[in-house]
Structure 1
Amino acid sequence: MSNEVKTQAPRGTVQQLTKKERKAAFRRWTFVAGLGWNFETQQAPAVAFSMAKALRKIYPNDEDYIEAMDNHFKYFNITPQMGNTVLGATLAMEEKDGLKAESAVQNLKISLMGPFSGVGDSIFWLLWPTIIGGISGYMALQGNPTGAIIWIAVSAVLYFVKMALSQLGYRSGTKLITSFGERLNIFTDAVSVMGLMVVGTIVATVVKIYTPLKFQQGKVSMLLQTDVLDKIMPALLPALLAGLTYWLLGKKWWTPTKIILLLVVISLIGAYFHILGVAPTK
Protein backbone atom coordinates (compact mmCIF):
# COMPACT_ATOMS: atom_id res chain seq x y z
CA MET A 1 0.00 0.00 0.00
CA SER A 2 1.23 3.49 -0.84
CA ASN A 3 1.10 6.13 1.83
CA GLU A 4 -0.71 9.08 0.28
CA VAL A 5 -0.63 12.40 2.07
CA LYS A 6 -3.66 14.56 1.41
CA THR A 7 -2.46 18.08 0.75
CA GLN A 8 -4.64 21.02 1.68
CA ALA A 9 -5.37 23.89 -0.66
CA PRO A 10 -3.15 26.93 -0.01
CA ARG A 11 -4.58 29.90 1.83
CA GLY A 12 -6.44 32.35 -0.35
CA THR A 13 -7.85 29.66 -2.63
CA VAL A 14 -11.47 30.42 -3.53
CA GLN A 15 -13.84 28.08 -5.36
CA GLN A 16 -17.14 28.87 -7.07
CA LEU A 17 -20.52 27.55 -5.97
CA THR A 18 -23.03 25.85 -8.20
CA LYS A 19 -26.59 27.13 -8.38
CA LYS A 20 -27.73 24.05 -6.44
CA GLU A 21 -25.25 24.75 -3.63
CA ARG A 22 -26.37 28.37 -3.38
CA LYS A 23 -30.01 27.33 -3.18
CA ALA A 24 -29.16 24.85 -0.43
CA ALA A 25 -27.64 27.65 1.67
CA PHE A 26 -30.66 29.92 1.10
CA ARG A 27 -33.04 27.05 1.91
CA ARG A 28 -31.25 26.44 5.20
CA TRP A 29 -31.77 30.06 6.24
CA THR A 30 -35.43 29.92 5.20
CA PHE A 31 -36.14 27.09 7.62
CA VAL A 32 -33.76 27.81 10.54
CA ALA A 33 -33.67 31.64 10.71
CA GLY A 34 -35.18 31.69 14.21
CA LEU A 35 -33.22 28.77 15.67
CA GLY A 36 -30.28 29.37 17.97
CA TRP A 37 -31.38 32.93 18.76
CA ASN A 38 -29.59 34.36 21.78
CA PHE A 39 -29.06 37.72 23.48
CA GLU A 40 -25.39 37.96 22.51
CA THR A 41 -25.40 37.40 18.74
CA GLN A 42 -29.15 36.89 18.14
CA GLN A 43 -29.50 35.25 14.68
CA ALA A 44 -25.76 34.66 14.11
CA PRO A 45 -25.92 30.88 14.83
CA ALA A 46 -28.61 30.49 12.17
CA VAL A 47 -26.49 32.51 9.72
CA ALA A 48 -23.42 30.36 10.40
CA PHE A 49 -25.42 27.14 10.03
CA SER A 50 -26.98 28.36 6.78
CA MET A 51 -23.63 29.36 5.27
CA ALA A 52 -21.52 26.47 6.60
CA LYS A 53 -21.64 24.12 3.60
CA ALA A 54 -21.38 26.92 1.07
CA LEU A 55 -18.36 28.44 2.84
CA ARG A 56 -16.71 25.02 3.08
CA LYS A 57 -16.89 24.83 -0.72
CA ILE A 58 -15.69 28.42 -1.23
CA TYR A 59 -12.78 28.04 1.21
CA PRO A 60 -11.07 24.64 0.79
CA ASN A 61 -8.32 25.76 3.17
CA ASP A 62 -9.24 25.01 6.80
CA GLU A 63 -7.85 28.26 8.22
CA ASP A 64 -9.71 30.34 5.64
CA TYR A 65 -12.92 28.45 6.36
CA ILE A 66 -12.63 28.95 10.11
CA GLU A 67 -11.97 32.67 9.68
CA ALA A 68 -14.96 33.06 7.35
CA MET A 69 -17.26 31.15 9.70
CA ASP A 70 -16.08 33.22 12.67
CA ASN A 71 -17.00 36.36 10.73
CA HIS A 72 -20.58 35.11 10.39
CA PHE A 73 -20.88 34.29 14.10
CA LYS A 74 -20.99 38.03 14.85
CA TYR A 75 -24.16 39.91 15.75
CA PHE A 76 -26.95 39.79 13.17
CA ASN A 77 -30.68 40.41 13.50
CA ILE A 78 -33.16 40.94 10.69
CA THR A 79 -36.69 40.06 9.63
CA PRO A 80 -36.13 36.42 8.55
CA GLN A 81 -37.84 36.88 5.19
CA MET A 82 -35.50 39.78 4.31
CA GLY A 83 -32.38 37.98 5.51
CA ASN A 84 -32.25 35.98 2.28
CA THR A 85 -31.44 39.10 0.27
CA VAL A 86 -28.61 40.21 2.56
CA LEU A 87 -27.07 36.74 2.84
CA GLY A 88 -27.32 36.29 -0.92
CA ALA A 89 -25.29 39.47 -1.44
CA THR A 90 -22.66 38.52 1.14
CA LEU A 91 -22.32 35.03 -0.32
CA ALA A 92 -21.64 36.50 -3.77
CA MET A 93 -19.01 38.83 -2.32
CA GLU A 94 -17.17 35.98 -0.60
CA GLU A 95 -17.39 33.82 -3.70
CA LYS A 96 -15.81 36.56 -5.81
CA ASP A 97 -13.15 38.00 -3.47
CA GLY A 98 -12.79 35.54 -0.61
CA LEU A 99 -11.47 36.86 2.68
CA LYS A 100 -10.52 40.18 1.06
CA ALA A 101 -14.23 40.99 1.33
CA GLU A 102 -14.41 40.00 5.01
CA SER A 103 -14.86 43.54 6.33
CA ALA A 104 -17.23 44.47 3.52
CA VAL A 105 -19.37 41.42 4.24
CA GLN A 106 -19.78 42.28 7.92
CA ASN A 107 -20.37 45.98 7.28
CA LEU A 108 -22.95 45.22 4.60
CA LYS A 109 -24.87 42.97 6.99
CA ILE A 110 -24.83 45.60 9.74
CA SER A 111 -25.86 48.48 7.49
CA LEU A 112 -28.72 46.64 5.74
CA MET A 113 -30.31 44.69 8.58
CA GLY A 114 -31.96 47.80 10.05
CA PRO A 115 -33.54 49.27 6.90
CA PHE A 116 -34.49 45.85 5.55
CA SER A 117 -36.12 44.92 8.86
CA GLY A 118 -38.19 48.08 8.72
CA VAL A 119 -39.57 47.04 5.33
CA GLY A 120 -39.83 43.37 6.25
CA ASP A 121 -41.64 43.94 9.54
CA SER A 122 -44.21 46.14 7.81
CA ILE A 123 -44.89 43.61 5.06
CA PHE A 124 -44.43 40.21 6.71
CA TRP A 125 -45.38 40.90 10.34
CA LEU A 126 -48.07 43.57 9.87
CA LEU A 127 -49.56 43.76 6.38
CA TRP A 128 -49.64 40.09 5.46
CA PRO A 129 -51.01 38.67 8.76
CA THR A 130 -53.59 41.46 8.97
CA ILE A 131 -54.98 41.08 5.47
CA ILE A 132 -54.59 37.36 4.82
CA GLY A 133 -55.20 36.44 8.47
CA GLY A 134 -58.33 38.60 8.59
CA ILE A 135 -59.77 37.01 5.47
CA SER A 136 -58.88 33.48 6.53
CA GLY A 137 -60.12 34.01 10.10
CA TYR A 138 -63.45 35.43 8.96
CA MET A 139 -63.99 32.46 6.61
CA ALA A 140 -63.12 30.06 9.41
CA LEU A 141 -65.70 31.68 11.70
CA GLN A 142 -68.26 31.12 8.96
CA GLY A 143 -67.33 27.44 8.82
CA ASN A 144 -65.67 27.83 5.41
CA PRO A 145 -62.42 25.78 5.12
CA THR A 146 -61.27 27.95 2.21
CA GLY A 147 -59.73 30.39 4.69
CA ALA A 148 -57.31 27.77 5.99
CA ILE A 149 -56.47 26.73 2.44
CA ILE A 150 -55.72 30.36 1.50
CA TRP A 151 -53.42 30.78 4.52
CA ILE A 152 -51.49 27.59 3.66
CA ALA A 153 -51.31 28.51 -0.04
CA VAL A 154 -49.98 32.01 0.65
CA SER A 155 -47.42 30.59 3.09
CA ALA A 156 -46.23 28.20 0.39
CA VAL A 157 -45.95 31.05 -2.11
CA LEU A 158 -43.85 33.01 0.39
CA TYR A 159 -41.23 30.25 0.24
CA PHE A 160 -40.66 30.94 -3.44
CA VAL A 161 -40.68 34.68 -2.78
CA LYS A 162 -37.89 34.27 -0.22
CA MET A 163 -35.85 32.11 -2.61
CA ALA A 164 -36.32 34.76 -5.30
CA LEU A 165 -35.08 37.43 -2.87
CA SER A 166 -32.01 35.26 -2.25
CA GLN A 167 -31.19 35.18 -5.94
CA LEU A 168 -31.79 38.93 -6.16
CA GLY A 169 -29.34 39.53 -3.33
CA TYR A 170 -26.79 37.21 -4.92
CA ARG A 171 -26.96 39.00 -8.27
CA SER A 172 -26.75 42.38 -6.53
CA GLY A 173 -23.66 41.28 -4.60
CA THR A 174 -22.04 40.04 -7.81
CA LYS A 175 -22.70 43.38 -9.52
CA LEU A 176 -21.20 45.27 -6.57
CA ILE A 177 -17.97 43.29 -6.77
CA THR A 178 -17.84 43.51 -10.56
CA SER A 179 -18.47 47.26 -10.57
CA PHE A 180 -15.93 48.12 -7.89
CA GLY A 181 -13.29 45.57 -8.86
CA GLU A 182 -9.97 46.70 -7.42
CA ARG A 183 -11.70 49.58 -5.64
CA LEU A 184 -13.30 47.26 -3.08
CA ASN A 185 -11.79 49.33 -0.26
CA ILE A 186 -13.92 52.29 -1.39
CA PHE A 187 -17.05 50.19 -1.10
CA THR A 188 -15.91 48.85 2.27
CA ASP A 189 -15.37 52.37 3.62
CA ALA A 190 -18.75 53.53 2.31
CA VAL A 191 -20.58 50.60 3.87
CA SER A 192 -18.67 51.11 7.14
CA VAL A 193 -19.86 54.71 7.32
CA MET A 194 -23.43 53.58 6.62
CA GLY A 195 -23.18 50.95 9.35
CA LEU A 196 -21.91 53.51 11.87
CA MET A 197 -24.76 55.86 10.97
CA VAL A 198 -27.30 53.08 11.53
CA VAL A 199 -25.77 52.14 14.89
CA GLY A 200 -25.64 55.80 15.96
CA THR A 201 -29.28 56.28 15.03
CA ILE A 202 -30.27 53.18 16.97
CA VAL A 203 -28.44 54.42 20.08
CA ALA A 204 -30.16 57.81 19.96
CA THR A 205 -33.67 56.51 19.24
CA VAL A 206 -33.92 53.08 20.85
CA VAL A 207 -31.82 53.36 24.03
CA LYS A 208 -33.92 55.16 26.62
CA ILE A 209 -32.39 56.55 29.83
CA TYR A 210 -34.00 59.20 32.02
CA THR A 211 -32.95 60.66 35.33
CA PRO A 212 -35.49 62.52 37.49
CA LEU A 213 -32.77 64.20 39.58
CA LYS A 214 -33.43 67.87 40.18
CA PHE A 215 -31.31 70.66 41.61
CA GLN A 216 -33.19 73.20 43.69
CA GLN A 217 -32.00 76.36 45.38
CA GLY A 218 -34.74 78.44 46.95
CA LYS A 219 -37.40 79.04 44.33
CA VAL A 220 -35.09 78.07 41.49
CA SER A 221 -35.22 74.44 40.34
CA MET A 222 -33.39 72.77 37.47
CA LEU A 223 -33.99 69.29 36.05
CA LEU A 224 -30.73 67.47 35.40
CA GLN A 225 -32.11 65.71 32.32
CA THR A 226 -33.89 68.44 30.37
CA ASP A 227 -32.15 71.57 31.66
CA VAL A 228 -28.56 70.31 31.75
CA LEU A 229 -27.81 67.06 29.92
CA ASP A 230 -30.16 67.60 26.96
CA LYS A 231 -28.75 71.10 26.55
CA ILE A 232 -25.22 69.74 26.32
CA MET A 233 -26.19 67.05 23.79
CA PRO A 234 -29.51 65.32 23.09
CA ALA A 235 -29.37 61.62 23.95
CA LEU A 236 -26.16 62.17 25.94
CA LEU A 237 -26.97 59.45 28.49
CA PRO A 238 -27.71 56.80 25.81
CA ALA A 239 -24.43 57.73 24.09
CA LEU A 240 -22.50 57.37 27.35
CA LEU A 241 -24.14 54.02 28.08
CA ALA A 242 -23.33 52.79 24.56
CA GLY A 243 -19.75 53.94 25.03
CA LEU A 244 -19.48 52.09 28.35
CA THR A 245 -20.91 48.92 26.79
CA TYR A 246 -18.50 49.14 23.86
CA TRP A 247 -15.56 49.64 26.22
CA LEU A 248 -16.56 46.65 28.36
CA LEU A 249 -16.89 44.44 25.27
CA GLY A 250 -13.21 45.04 24.62
CA LYS A 251 -12.31 43.60 28.02
CA LYS A 252 -11.46 39.93 28.17
CA TRP A 253 -13.50 39.13 31.27
CA TRP A 254 -16.69 40.80 30.11
CA THR A 255 -19.13 39.01 27.83
CA PRO A 256 -22.43 40.33 26.36
CA THR A 257 -24.38 38.24 28.87
CA LYS A 258 -22.45 39.70 31.82
CA ILE A 259 -22.96 43.20 30.45
CA ILE A 260 -26.72 42.60 30.16
CA LEU A 261 -26.80 41.48 33.81
CA LEU A 262 -24.77 44.56 34.79
CA LEU A 263 -27.27 46.84 33.04
CA VAL A 264 -30.15 45.11 34.84
CA VAL A 265 -28.41 45.67 38.20
CA ILE A 266 -27.71 49.33 37.36
CA SER A 267 -31.37 49.81 36.38
CA LEU A 268 -32.66 48.26 39.61
CA ILE A 269 -30.30 50.25 41.83
CA GLY A 270 -30.98 53.46 39.91
CA ALA A 271 -34.74 52.98 40.18
CA TYR A 272 -34.58 52.13 43.89
CA PHE A 273 -32.62 55.28 44.76
CA HIS A 274 -34.65 57.39 42.28
CA ILE A 275 -31.56 58.14 40.22
CA LEU A 276 -33.19 56.62 37.13
CA GLY A 277 -36.85 56.66 36.21
CA VAL A 278 -39.45 56.73 33.45
CA ALA A 279 -39.50 59.81 31.27
CA PRO A 280 -42.73 61.82 31.64
CA THR A 281 -45.06 61.67 28.66
CA LYS A 282 -45.41 64.86 26.71
Structure 2
Amino acid sequence: MTENRMEQPMNENKIISLDRKELMGVFLRFSCFPMVTINYERFQTLQYFSALAPVLKKLYPNKEDQISAAKRHMAFYNTTPEWMGFTLGMNCAQEEQIANMPQGEERSALEDSVNTIKASLMGPLAGIGDSLRATVEAIIGALAAGFAMNGSIFGAILFFVLGNAYYFGISYFGFFYTYKNGMKVIRDMNKSGILDRLMESATILGMTAVGALIPSWVGFKLTSAIQIGDYVLNIQQELDNIIPGLAPLALTICLAWLYKKNISSLKLVGLIFVFSLIISLIL
Protein backbone atom coordinates (compact mmCIF):
# COMPACT_ATOMS: atom_id res chain seq x y z
CA MET A 1 0.00 0.00 0.00
CA THR A 2 3.02 2.33 -0.24
CA GLU A 3 3.30 2.99 -3.99
CA ASN A 4 2.15 6.35 -5.47
CA ARG A 5 1.46 7.71 -1.98
CA MET A 6 4.08 9.69 -0.08
CA GLU A 7 7.81 9.30 -0.44
CA GLN A 8 9.00 7.20 2.48
CA PRO A 9 12.27 8.52 3.93
CA MET A 10 14.52 5.75 5.12
CA ASN A 11 15.93 5.65 8.63
CA GLU A 12 18.12 3.26 10.53
CA ASN A 13 15.20 1.22 11.81
CA LYS A 14 13.02 -1.25 9.99
CA ILE A 15 10.31 0.34 7.87
CA ILE A 16 6.92 0.22 9.60
CA SER A 17 4.02 -0.03 7.16
CA LEU A 18 0.29 -0.53 7.44
CA ASP A 19 -1.31 -3.58 5.87
CA ARG A 20 -4.74 -3.98 4.30
CA LYS A 21 -6.28 -5.51 7.43
CA GLU A 22 -5.23 -2.58 9.62
CA LEU A 23 -6.50 -0.04 7.11
CA MET A 24 -9.83 -1.88 6.87
CA GLY A 25 -10.02 -1.66 10.66
CA VAL A 26 -9.74 2.13 10.47
CA PHE A 27 -12.35 2.25 7.71
CA LEU A 28 -14.85 0.11 9.61
CA ARG A 29 -14.40 1.99 12.90
CA PHE A 30 -15.12 5.40 11.43
CA SER A 31 -17.74 4.34 8.86
CA CYS A 32 -19.83 2.09 11.13
CA PHE A 33 -19.70 4.37 14.19
CA PRO A 34 -19.29 7.92 12.84
CA MET A 35 -21.30 9.82 15.46
CA VAL A 36 -21.20 7.69 18.62
CA THR A 37 -18.95 10.09 20.54
CA ILE A 38 -20.23 13.38 19.16
CA ASN A 39 -20.50 16.19 21.71
CA TYR A 40 -20.70 19.97 21.63
CA GLU A 41 -17.13 20.46 22.82
CA ARG A 42 -15.17 18.35 20.33
CA PHE A 43 -17.85 17.00 17.98
CA GLN A 44 -16.25 14.05 16.06
CA THR A 45 -12.79 14.33 17.59
CA LEU A 46 -13.01 11.29 19.88
CA GLN A 47 -14.37 9.07 17.12
CA TYR A 48 -11.64 10.25 14.77
CA PHE A 49 -8.95 9.38 17.31
CA SER A 50 -10.66 6.07 18.16
CA ALA A 51 -10.50 5.03 14.50
CA LEU A 52 -6.78 5.84 14.34
CA ALA A 53 -5.71 4.57 17.77
CA PRO A 54 -4.71 0.97 16.82
CA VAL A 55 -2.75 2.26 13.83
CA LEU A 56 -0.91 4.84 15.93
CA LYS A 57 -0.06 2.15 18.47
CA LYS A 58 1.58 0.05 15.75
CA LEU A 59 3.41 2.93 14.08
CA TYR A 60 4.83 4.27 17.35
CA PRO A 61 6.16 1.53 19.67
CA ASN A 62 7.59 4.24 21.92
CA LYS A 63 5.03 5.44 24.50
CA GLU A 64 6.13 9.08 24.24
CA ASP A 65 5.55 9.02 20.48
CA GLN A 66 2.13 7.47 21.03
CA ILE A 67 1.19 10.27 23.42
CA SER A 68 2.43 12.90 20.98
CA ALA A 69 0.40 11.34 18.14
CA ALA A 70 -2.68 11.07 20.35
CA LYS A 71 -2.45 14.78 21.20
CA ARG A 72 -2.24 15.63 17.49
CA HIS A 73 -5.51 13.86 16.82
CA MET A 74 -7.40 15.23 19.81
CA ALA A 75 -7.74 18.61 18.10
CA PHE A 76 -11.27 19.69 17.17
CA TYR A 77 -12.71 17.92 14.13
CA ASN A 78 -16.13 17.88 12.49
CA THR A 79 -17.35 17.17 8.96
CA THR A 80 -20.00 15.19 7.08
CA PRO A 81 -19.54 11.61 8.43
CA GLU A 82 -19.04 9.77 5.14
CA TRP A 83 -16.45 12.32 4.01
CA MET A 84 -14.34 11.84 7.13
CA GLY A 85 -12.41 9.18 5.22
CA PHE A 86 -10.77 11.76 2.97
CA THR A 87 -8.78 13.26 5.85
CA LEU A 88 -8.38 9.99 7.72
CA GLY A 89 -6.75 8.30 4.75
CA MET A 90 -4.36 11.20 4.29
CA ASN A 91 -3.54 11.25 8.01
CA CYS A 92 -2.76 7.52 7.95
CA ALA A 93 -0.32 8.14 5.10
CA GLN A 94 1.24 11.05 6.98
CA GLU A 95 1.58 9.15 10.24
CA GLU A 96 3.14 6.21 8.42
CA GLN A 97 5.68 8.55 6.87
CA ILE A 98 6.39 10.29 10.20
CA ALA A 99 6.97 6.95 11.94
CA ASN A 100 9.73 6.10 9.44
CA MET A 101 11.53 9.44 9.68
CA PRO A 102 14.41 10.31 11.99
CA GLN A 103 13.90 13.04 14.57
CA GLY A 104 14.51 16.49 13.14
CA GLU A 105 12.97 19.61 11.66
CA GLU A 106 11.53 17.78 8.66
CA ARG A 107 9.68 15.32 10.89
CA SER A 108 8.42 18.13 13.15
CA ALA A 109 7.12 20.04 10.13
CA LEU A 110 5.23 16.96 8.91
CA GLU A 111 3.79 16.41 12.38
CA ASP A 112 2.52 20.00 12.39
CA SER A 113 0.96 19.50 8.96
CA VAL A 114 -1.30 16.69 10.24
CA ASN A 115 -3.74 19.05 11.95
CA THR A 116 -3.27 21.69 9.27
CA ILE A 117 -4.64 19.21 6.72
CA LYS A 118 -7.56 18.28 8.97
CA ALA A 119 -8.47 21.87 9.81
CA SER A 120 -8.21 23.13 6.23
CA LEU A 121 -10.24 20.30 4.67
CA MET A 122 -13.01 19.59 7.18
CA GLY A 123 -14.93 22.77 6.31
CA PRO A 124 -14.92 22.39 2.51
CA LEU A 125 -15.62 18.65 2.83
CA ALA A 126 -18.60 19.39 5.09
CA GLY A 127 -19.98 21.89 2.59
CA ILE A 128 -19.64 19.49 -0.31
CA GLY A 129 -20.74 16.47 1.71
CA ASP A 130 -23.88 18.06 3.17
CA SER A 131 -24.99 19.41 -0.21
CA LEU A 132 -24.32 16.15 -2.04
CA ARG A 133 -26.00 14.09 0.68
CA ALA A 134 -29.13 16.26 0.53
CA THR A 135 -29.29 15.79 -3.24
CA VAL A 136 -28.67 12.05 -3.13
CA GLU A 137 -31.16 11.49 -0.31
CA ALA A 138 -33.77 13.51 -2.21
CA ILE A 139 -33.32 11.29 -5.27
CA ILE A 140 -33.30 8.05 -3.28
CA GLY A 141 -36.23 9.22 -1.17
CA ALA A 142 -38.21 10.09 -4.28
CA LEU A 143 -37.64 6.64 -5.74
CA ALA A 144 -38.46 4.89 -2.45
CA ALA A 145 -41.53 7.04 -1.78
CA GLY A 146 -43.07 5.96 -5.07
CA PHE A 147 -43.15 2.35 -3.84
CA ALA A 148 -44.04 3.23 -0.24
CA MET A 149 -47.04 5.34 -1.25
CA ASN A 150 -48.41 2.31 -3.07
CA GLY A 151 -48.11 0.27 0.13
CA SER A 152 -45.00 -1.67 -0.92
CA ILE A 153 -42.35 -2.50 1.70
CA PHE A 154 -39.83 -2.39 -1.17
CA GLY A 155 -39.79 1.40 -0.70
CA ALA A 156 -38.25 1.10 2.78
CA ILE A 157 -35.82 -1.60 1.60
CA LEU A 158 -34.78 0.48 -1.40
CA PHE A 159 -34.14 3.56 0.77
CA PHE A 160 -32.06 1.51 3.23
CA VAL A 161 -29.98 -0.26 0.57
CA LEU A 162 -29.30 2.73 -1.69
CA GLY A 163 -28.69 5.06 1.26
CA ASN A 164 -26.06 2.76 2.74
CA ALA A 165 -24.53 2.06 -0.67
CA TYR A 166 -23.93 5.79 -1.09
CA TYR A 167 -22.63 6.22 2.47
CA PHE A 168 -20.20 3.30 2.49
CA GLY A 169 -19.20 3.88 -1.12
CA ILE A 170 -18.09 7.46 -0.44
CA SER A 171 -16.43 6.43 2.84
CA TYR A 172 -14.48 3.57 1.25
CA PHE A 173 -13.37 5.48 -1.83
CA GLY A 174 -12.35 8.59 0.10
CA PHE A 175 -10.31 6.72 2.70
CA PHE A 176 -8.35 4.39 0.44
CA TYR A 177 -7.89 6.93 -2.36
CA THR A 178 -6.32 9.55 -0.09
CA TYR A 179 -4.23 6.95 1.75
CA LYS A 180 -2.78 5.74 -1.53
CA ASN A 181 -2.24 9.16 -3.10
CA GLY A 182 -1.46 11.30 -0.07
CA MET A 183 -1.14 15.03 -0.82
CA LYS A 184 -1.52 14.37 -4.55
CA VAL A 185 -5.29 14.16 -4.09
CA ILE A 186 -5.51 17.85 -3.10
CA ARG A 187 -3.55 18.95 -6.15
CA ASP A 188 -5.68 16.76 -8.42
CA MET A 189 -8.96 18.15 -7.05
CA ASN A 190 -7.80 21.75 -7.38
CA LYS A 191 -6.58 21.28 -10.96
CA SER A 192 -9.51 19.26 -12.32
CA GLY A 193 -12.36 20.98 -10.46
CA ILE A 194 -14.02 17.56 -10.31
CA LEU A 195 -15.89 18.24 -7.08
CA ASP A 196 -17.47 21.41 -8.46
CA ARG A 197 -18.65 19.59 -11.58
CA LEU A 198 -19.94 16.68 -9.51
CA MET A 199 -21.90 19.01 -7.24
CA GLU A 200 -23.43 20.89 -10.17
CA SER A 201 -24.46 17.67 -11.93
CA ALA A 202 -25.92 16.14 -8.76
CA THR A 203 -27.87 19.31 -7.98
CA ILE A 204 -29.39 19.43 -11.46
CA LEU A 205 -30.33 15.75 -11.31
CA GLY A 206 -31.81 16.10 -7.82
CA MET A 207 -33.90 19.16 -8.68
CA THR A 208 -35.16 17.46 -11.84
CA ALA A 209 -36.20 14.33 -9.95
CA VAL A 210 -37.93 16.27 -7.17
CA GLY A 211 -39.65 18.59 -9.62
CA ALA A 212 -40.99 15.71 -11.69
CA LEU A 213 -42.45 14.04 -8.60
CA ILE A 214 -44.28 17.12 -7.25
CA PRO A 215 -47.63 16.23 -8.96
CA SER A 216 -47.48 12.75 -7.36
CA TRP A 217 -46.38 13.88 -3.92
CA VAL A 218 -48.47 17.01 -3.46
CA GLY A 219 -52.16 16.12 -3.30
CA PHE A 220 -53.66 19.51 -4.21
CA LYS A 221 -56.58 19.58 -6.65
CA LEU A 222 -59.40 22.09 -7.13
CA THR A 223 -62.23 19.66 -7.72
CA SER A 224 -65.15 22.09 -7.54
CA ALA A 225 -66.89 23.48 -10.61
CA ILE A 226 -68.28 26.99 -11.08
CA GLN A 227 -71.62 27.50 -12.86
CA ILE A 228 -71.54 30.51 -15.22
CA GLY A 229 -74.93 30.64 -16.91
CA ASP A 230 -75.20 27.50 -18.99
CA TYR A 231 -71.43 26.94 -18.85
CA VAL A 232 -69.81 24.83 -16.15
CA LEU A 233 -66.19 25.80 -15.41
CA ASN A 234 -64.12 22.88 -14.11
CA ILE A 235 -61.19 24.69 -12.51
CA GLN A 236 -58.87 21.68 -12.20
CA GLN A 237 -59.49 20.57 -15.78
CA GLU A 238 -58.75 24.05 -17.11
CA LEU A 239 -55.53 24.24 -15.10
CA ASP A 240 -54.46 20.83 -16.40
CA ASN A 241 -55.13 22.03 -19.95
CA ILE A 242 -52.67 24.86 -19.34
CA ILE A 243 -49.96 22.86 -17.51
CA PRO A 244 -50.60 19.42 -15.97
CA GLY A 245 -49.85 19.59 -12.24
CA LEU A 246 -49.93 23.40 -12.18
CA ALA A 247 -51.83 23.59 -8.87
CA PRO A 248 -49.44 21.42 -6.80
CA LEU A 249 -46.46 23.12 -8.48
CA ALA A 250 -47.76 26.59 -7.56
CA LEU A 251 -48.42 25.48 -3.97
CA THR A 252 -44.93 23.97 -3.67
CA ILE A 253 -43.23 27.09 -5.05
CA CYS A 254 -45.24 29.27 -2.66
CA LEU A 255 -44.29 27.14 0.36
CA ALA A 256 -40.63 27.08 -0.71
CA TRP A 257 -40.67 30.88 -0.96
CA LEU A 258 -42.20 31.21 2.50
CA TYR A 259 -39.66 28.75 3.95
CA LYS A 260 -36.88 30.82 2.41
CA LYS A 261 -38.33 33.81 4.27
CA ASN A 262 -37.56 31.96 7.54
CA ILE A 263 -41.09 30.79 8.23
CA SER A 264 -40.74 27.53 10.18
CA SER A 265 -42.06 24.23 8.88
CA LEU A 266 -44.49 24.03 11.83
CA LYS A 267 -46.03 27.37 10.87
CA LEU A 268 -46.25 26.22 7.25
CA VAL A 269 -48.20 23.14 8.31
CA GLY A 270 -50.66 25.35 10.18
CA LEU A 271 -50.87 27.67 7.18
CA ILE A 272 -51.67 24.75 4.88
CA PHE A 273 -54.43 23.60 7.26
CA VAL A 274 -56.05 27.07 7.36
CA PHE A 275 -55.67 27.54 3.60
CA SER A 276 -57.25 24.15 2.89
CA LEU A 277 -60.15 24.94 5.19
CA ILE A 278 -60.82 28.27 3.49
CA ILE A 279 -60.59 26.82 -0.01
CA SER A 280 -62.95 23.98 0.92
CA LEU A 281 -65.53 26.48 2.21
CA ILE A 282 -65.27 28.75 -0.84
CA LEU A 283 -65.12 26.03 -3.48
Please indicate the TM-score interval, normalised by the length of the shorter structure. 0.5 to 0.7
Contact 1:81 1:162 in 2 (8 A): yes
Contact 1:14 1:59 in 2 (8 A): no
Q: Which amino acid aligns with 2:50?
A: F
Alpha-carbon spacing, 1:60–1:14, altered in 2? closer, same or farther (3 Å) = farther
Alpha-carbon spacing, 1:47–1:22, altered in 2? closer, same or farther (3 Å) = same
| Structure number, greater radius of gyration | 2
CA RMSD in angstroms, aligned pairs only: 2.4
**Structure 2 residues without counterparts, runs of 5 or longer:** 1-12, 100-106, 188-261, 263-283
- 2:126 — aligned with what? 117
Q: Which runs of 4+ in 1 moved over 6 A?
A: none
Separation in 1 of the partners of 2:163 and 2:28? Answer: 15
Q: Which amino acid aligns with 2:22?
A: E
Residue 93, structure 1, aligned to residue 94, structure 2: yes
**Percent identity at matched positions?**
30
Contact 2:140 2:163 in 1 (8 A): no
Q: Which amino acid aligns with 1:73?
A: M
**Structure 1 residues without counterparts, runs of 5 or longer:** 1-11, 180-280
**What's the TM-score, normalizing by structure 2?**
0.55
- 2:230 — aligned with what? none
Separation in 1 of the partners of 2:71 and 2:129? Answer: 27
Separation in 2 of the partners of 1:113 and 1:21? Answer: 24
How far did 1:35 drift? 1.5
**What's the TM-score, normalizing by structure 1?**
0.55
Contact 1:33 1:46 in 2 (8 A): yes
For residues 50-95 of structure 1, what are the alpha-carbon distances to aligned partners after superposition, in whole Å with 9 as ceiling and x for unaligned? 1010111111111101110111111001001111011100110110
How far did 1:13 drift? 8.3
Match of 1:130 among 129, 135, 138: 138
For residues 158-205 of structure 1, what are the alpha-carbon distances to aligned partners after superposition, in whole Å with 9 as ceiling and x for unaligned? 3233112111111231658xx9xxxxxxxxxxxxxxxxxxxxxxxxxx
Contact 1:92 1:170 in 2 (8 A): yes
Secondary structure, aligned partner of 1:27: helix
For residues 97-147 of structure 1, what are the alpha-carbon distances to aligned partners after superposition, in whole Å with 9 as ceiling and x for unaligned? 2363221010000000011111100111x1122111122123111112222
Match of 2:160 among 152, 158, 168: 152
Contact 2:137 2:163 in 1 (8 A): no
- 1:192 — aligned with what? none
- 1:104 — aligned with what? 113
Contact 2:44 2:78 in 1 (8 A): yes
- 1:234 — aligned with what? none
Separation in 2 of the partners of 1:20 and 1:31? Answer: 16
Residue 173, structure 1, aligned to residue 182, structure 2: yes
Separation in 2 of the partners of 1:64 and 1:13? Answer: 16
